[in-house]
């Protein structure tokens, strides 16, 4: 069964509710969300490019998944690509194009088929490196670059 959390429009919620294998919980308080991660198999992060915030946002959910040592699938926006470039592509998860459902499903299957590999790699990371506090200067430089 797939459990999804976060914001969604009414059409998306209606679509989810039609599938008995998907449970949509909506927005959760961060502390409660983090407590659920210990029961998760993999993380999933999908942003849409409806605004610049989504496109250039820091991948906070990815940091949550790294701290929980969860392999993950994420949309391939700039910040997510930078994170993968830093760690190594396809070492701790996979990226898919925003509107490519087939690619998304293939990436989920790829992680499932190679779960031990991804889980092993993510468990070797120094998780302290992946927090807002440790990334502050990096994020500041990116934002300053966008403002120039």
Q: What is the pLDDT of residues 15-52, one digit of tens each?
A: 888 888 888 888 888 889 889 999 999 999 887 777 77
What is the per-residue pLDDT for 57? 66
Give the pTM.
0.79
Residues 121 and 100 sit within 8 Å (Cβ to Cβ): no
Confidence band for 115, pLDDT divided at 50, 70 and 90: very high
Would the pLDDT of 55 be above 80?
no
Any alpha helices (H) in 25-130, and if so which ranges?
Answer: 30-36, 52-56, 60-67, 78-87, 101-113, 115-123
């Amino acid at each position: 069964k797939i459990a999804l959390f976060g914001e969604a429009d009414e059409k998306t919620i209606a679509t989810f509710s039609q599938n008995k294998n998907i449970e949509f919980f909506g927005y959760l308080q961060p502390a409660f969300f983090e407590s659920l991660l210990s029961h998760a198999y993999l993380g999933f992060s999908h942003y849409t490019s409806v605004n610049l915030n989504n496109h250039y946002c820091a991948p906070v959910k990815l940091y949550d998944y790294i701290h929980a040592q969860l392999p993950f699938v994420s949309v391939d926006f700039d910040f997510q690509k930078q994170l993968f470039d830093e760690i190594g592509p396809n070492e701790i998860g996979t990226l898919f194009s925003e509107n490519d459902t087939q690619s998304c499903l293939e990436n989920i299957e790829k992680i499932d088929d190679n779960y031990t590999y991804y889980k092993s790699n993510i468990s070797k990371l120094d998780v302290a490196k992946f927090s807002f506090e440790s990334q502050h200067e990096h994020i500041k430089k990116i934002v300053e670059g966008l403002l120039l």
